Structure 1
Amino acid sequence: MAEHLGSQLSDALLSKLQKEQYVLLSTLDEKSGAPVVNAVSWVYAPDARHIKMAVGHKSRIVSNVKTNARAAVTVIGPNSTYTINGKAAVTRQPMEDVTIKLAEITLEVEAVQDVMFYGAKISREPEYVKTYDQEAADKLDRQVMAALKKA
């Protein structure tokens, strides 16, 4: 059973979400209303009450959020798995100062839950590698993170 941890990010989650991070973003499909889960890596929490994410400007995520603001972000680690529920909004479309067209989604945190199953903890957090030109990936990552950090 999920353990309610509060209505804002803990210091550990806030720190984790202040850099590029693998998270799962859950939205509700604009047509069917069914849950849709997407992996997102461009994420930044400016404070304990908000999480900003960058996604493709034509992504299904954008139309889902515009239709229904209910969303959740799942974070694996530190030590557990956490779901952060809240209301999402498209806050910038397109994002400025980024070479590709992206939309900024901002989640207003309403509840944080530890959803790890009983008697276990995360021993190794997910890792990923970029499969395209590393120099181009690094440049784009810097642009996106700088844009997410803008007020």
Structure 2
Amino acid sequence: MANQVEPKLIKPLYDELQKERFVILATIDHETGGPNVSAISWVFAKDESTVYFAIDNRSRILENIKNNNLAVINMIANESTYSIYGEAHVKEERIKDVPLKLALVEISIKEVRDVMFYGSKIITEPQYDKTYDKVAAERLDKQVMEAMKKA
């Protein structure tokens, strides 16, 4: 159903954000003032109004958020495409119990909008494969997701 707007995550989106998944994050670039778009996968819905994501603490995304806290997560799920808009802030500069230097960012959701063009639906969602050591990737992914769940 195109153009539906909600103040929080609907159940299918909340459920999808209980596990690692591919999403697109848009922030405002701190140098150019233009859009900055990144693909991320360590994302977790703490509740229907809050989304966490983990990123390298040297990421440009952190400087962008510190200068302008508005952010959008674009997500393909539930046979559609959604923009999850809100205010972001760095919750933890360094996530504990994770071997990489990752920051935890919290987005307080202001609006969830179905942005799929009229008269269409998604029939296949994006999939990805880790291209480095599979065992190490699984271990790290589990550590990061568990840390976000505890936050």
Q: TM-score range by the shorter chain?
A: over 0.9
1:7 CA displacement? 0.6
Aligned to 1:88: 88
Q: State the distance in 1 between where 2:4 and 2:84 align.
A: 10
Q: State the distance in 1 between where 2:108 and 2:33 align.
A: 21
The residue type paired with residue 36 of structure 1 is N
What count of residue pairs does the alignment treat as equivalent? Answer: 150
The sequence identity of aligned pairs, in percent, is: 45
1:30 CA displacement? 0.6
1:106-121 aligned within 5 A: 106-121=106-121
The residue type paired with residue 133 of structure 1 is D
With structure 1 as the length reference, what TM-score do the two structures score? 0.97
5+ residue gaps, structure 1, are: none
Q: State the distance in 1 between where 2:107 and 2:98 align.
A: 21
With structure 2 as the length reference, what TM-score do the two structures score? 0.97
1:2-151 aligned within 5 A: 3-151=3-151
Do the aligned residues in 2 keep the contact of 1:50 with 1:106 (CA within 8 Å)? yes
The residue type paired with residue 121 of structure 1 is K
The residue type paired with residue 126 of structure 1 is P
What's the CA shift string for 1:76-121, capped at 9, x where partnerless? 1110000010000011111110010001111100001010011110
Do the aligned residues in 2 keep the contact of 1:23 with 1:41 (CA within 8 Å)? yes
SS in 2 for 1:3: coil
5+ residue gaps, structure 2, are: none
Aligned-CA RMSD value: 0.9
The structure 1 segments of at least 4 consecutive aligned residues displaced by more than 4 Å after TM superposition are: none
SS in 1 for 2:138: helix
